[in-house]
Structure 1
Amino acid sequence: MVRDIISTSMRFSAGHLAAISFLLASDISATAATATGSLNVTITIQAECTVVSASDLDFGTHGVIDANLDQTTSISIQCTSGTPYAVGLDAGTGSGATLAARLMTGPASATVQYSLYRDAGRSQVWGDTPGVDTADGTANGSAETLTVYGRVPAQATPGAGTYSDTVAITITY
């Protein structure tokens, strides 16, 4: 009998607690309200190309230039996916330079002739006229690496010193 009274009390207490919890939850949810909306998020992507990096073209240290000196370097570009591009290289800053005969300038304005090519066989001079003598392609949206093939041809060797040139890279898109 005592057990029945305790059990009934516990049930009664548990029942009361459940009812109170329900009433409290009902009162809170009855007074709470919600509203919904939306947020539009947009971006407009336009065609763009950038030169990511360009490594120096270093022909090293030599004495007499009595044979071709070949070397390569790379240019990394990135364009918006699907964008057609043409990468051009100008004749450089050497006085009197042309696309076929660029000039590195050194001591006493002496020069060393060199050329830049788009192919490993060094037969396609790399210039700056889109569709004619440039490296053309269609971008995939990721950085792309282009190889520049350089050659210093055999020539009369100027005086000792360091010779250099600066070639502008232009991406037409």
Structure 2
Amino acid sequence: MKNTTQGLILLAASACSAASAFAATATATMTNTVTVASNCSIATVGFTTTYDPIVTNATTNQDVTASVTTTCTPGAAPVITLGQGANANTGSTDAAPLRRVSSGGGTPTYLNYSLFSDSGRTTTWGNTAATAPAAVSATGTATPLTIYARVPSGQTGVATTYTDTVVATVTF
């Protein structure tokens, strides 16, 4: 019986070594891909000011600022445009907006104002790529831009609060 047991053990060991001698392997290469999407977010802060048509602003423009901030994926090419506003005057265009704030109500009165991309208030910021500021960076971090606003002097209106809504758009 001892010989039989030893024989079975030898037979099992040789079968295992024969199986490992015939073992094979196969491999495959896995390619992993991540695409970073071009994306931007946009936020705005409008201006608030007091206009005095009798004394201060009878002959002096009311200059104030607002801001727009974008956060864009690096590599994006953001272009920020500003719409004509909800109260645009007759003849207003995307390239040359004639913006107005309104007193609201059934018979509103209006005050004209303009938005510019430069501190000298000479370059109108409109709703076209040609009127948008040239230098908008896409760094992946928040990039604020100043909007230079002007309410021209010499306008009259009823004593109330005037408002307008302008849509800021970032195209990337």
Gaps of 5+ in 2: 1-29
Gaps of 5+ in 1: 1-38
Q: What's the counterpart of residue 47 of structure 1?
A: 38
Q: What's the counterpart of residue 134 of structure 1?
A: 132
- Asked if residue 89 in structure 1 is aligned to residue 86 in structure 2, the reply is no
Q: What's the counterpart of residue 59 of structure 1?
A: 49
Q: Name the % identity.
A: 30
Given that residues 111 and 158 in structure 1 are in contact (C-alpha distance below 8 angstroms), is that contact kept between their aligned partners in structure 2? Answer: yes
- With over 3 angstroms needed to count, the CA separation of the structure-2 counterparts of 1:42 and 1:62, relative to structure 1, is farther
Given that residues 82 and 141 in structure 1 are in contact (C-alpha distance below 8 angstroms), is that contact kept between their aligned partners in structure 2? Answer: no
Q: Taking structure 2 as the reference length, what is the TM-score of the superposition?
A: 0.70
* Matches of 1:172 and 1:159, distance apart in 2: 38
Superposed CA RMSD = 2.3
* Matches of 2:168 and 2:88, distance apart in 1: 18
Q: Give aligned pairs, total.
A: 135
Q: Deviations over 1:1-54 (max 9, x none)?
A: xxxxxxxxxxxxxxxxxxxxxxxxxxxxxxxxxxxxxx9875421111110x21
Moved over 3 A (4+): 39-43
Q: What's the counterpart of residue 69 of structure 1?
A: 62
What does 1:7-46 align with in structure 2 at a 5 Å threshold?
Answer: 43-46=34-37
* Matches of 2:39 and 2:98, distance apart in 1: 31
Q: Aligned AA for 2:62?
A: L
* Matches of 1:114 and 1:147, distance apart in 2: 16
Q: Which has the larger radius of gyration?
A: 1
Quote the offset at 1:128 in angstroms. Answer: 1.3
Quote the offset at 1:62 in angstroms. Answer: 2.8
- With over 3 angstroms needed to count, the CA separation of the structure-2 counterparts of 1:144 and 1:106, relative to structure 1, is same
